[in-house]
Structure 1
């Protein structure tokens, strides 16, 4: 649980950095180039399979631990004082994890699946190398099927799958935005407890480093990263 959890935390950092390109005012060019790189660069593809495996292992192991804990104490405490000795998120990691698992499946079906199964539109960017001005034109279905970059008569041309447009289209609907924001709130509570607990489980909880781990877990993984992800659907919804 600890090792897969920390690996998933590292993935969140990389994923957020890449997704921040959605905010560029370039008609989606930087983000679409990033999407192609992440799905075609061999080392990244290998890491992505490790990511999928880690998600499955993390979820299965959480279920196994929950079952073992239930079997270890089939009868509840006569007087429950859990709230005095533990935080709300530590007592509800299973619920938070379930919300996140539903979110991951939904997220991948909306973007990852459609991108890999040719269900997103295509776009052509033409950048005048003299003026550095870029124009974008949607390509007709069947006219183009892969990524291309070349220069023709002083114009840099990029043809790509327009995942940016798929993102903008999805977040026109308030319910998708609400799902993402709620899921990021769940992610926040999950990471605040999980990040610190991972280091404790691994024995890396020396009093000298505990305050640093707690600070990073709360303010970076618990606040900054979830807000960064939640800002994207809100931005697109308000921009429509």
Structure 2
């Protein structure tokens, strides 16, 4: 047991933890961006609100969510420890700087990680915390005519204080009542400073993933002449370009379409 503890307290052990938690967070990012793309569906938030309700009320997802929170905390903590240790190991800069081979993102992972951690705290406080633990998010009712597929919406006031959501069918009309997180999205993304901060954070995410995704595979020893170029391509184009752009497009779109 002491050998295991010693291993994870070593620099290599900390990097292994960073790699494993980082890859786990990468899988979450894929799911999260997929769900958030429902904001572009043009259904007045129906699909997105159903998605948000599912994430917060399906027990297996809730268990995974707590693993996610733990991974974020551990990843941030060990990232801070490694950054401080690297700074202490080189307290005085070189008189003559050697020709650098490391990328800008690899040399600034601490800064990028700090921006992302601040963003996560603000973002979760604005959406997840208010959605799950406060009464600031109103309810909405969606009625879908099962014959025509037409959906109408209206505000809904729960009868009881412990009401979460409901799905019922009356006269061939499906009635869905749930919290309207979409309205919170519209409100938050109508503020220019929030949109700007969101876009800056997605830029930090792009550079963080540009180095982090590839670095995780190297740390775990998953390096192969045939497959490493594929890992680099996925890390560069999918994680560092497509996903951050998809995330950044959401607040920009809502700002110009919904802001008054």
Shift of 1:67: 2.1
Q: Which residue of 2 aligns with 1:218?
A: 236
Instruction: Tell me if 1:131 matches 2:148.
Output: yes
Shift of 1:81: 2.8
Scaled by the length of structure 2, the TM-score of the pair is 0.89
Cα offsets for 1:74-117 (capped at 9, x unmatched): 332222236x3111111111100000001000100110011012
Q: Which residue of 1 aligns with 2:15?
A: none
Q: Which residue of 2 aligns with 1:64?
A: 81
Q: Which residue of 2 aligns with 1:109?
A: 125
Within 2, Cα distance between the matches of 1:142 and 1:114? 20
Aligned counterpart for 1:30 among listed residues 32, 38, 47: 47
Q: Which residue of 2 aligns with 1:39?
A: 56
Within 2, Cα distance between the matches of 1:24 and 1:181? 21
Cα offsets for 1:140-169 (capped at 9, x unmatched): 476773100000112110000000111011
Unpaired stretches in structure 1, ≥5 consecutive residues: none
Within 1, Cα distance between the matches of 2:82 and 2:51? 37
Q: Which residue of 2 aligns with 1:190?
A: 208
Query: Within 5 Å, which residues of 2 pair with 1:133-172?
Result: 133-140=150-157, 145-172=163-190
Q: Is the 8 A contact 1:21 1:31 kept in 2?
A: yes
Within 2, Cα distance between the matches of 1:34 and 1:201? 35
Cα RMSD of the aligned pairs, angstroms, is: 1.4
Instruction: Tell me if 1:95 matches 2:88.
Output: no
Within 1, Cα distance between the matches of 2:87 and 2:188? 40
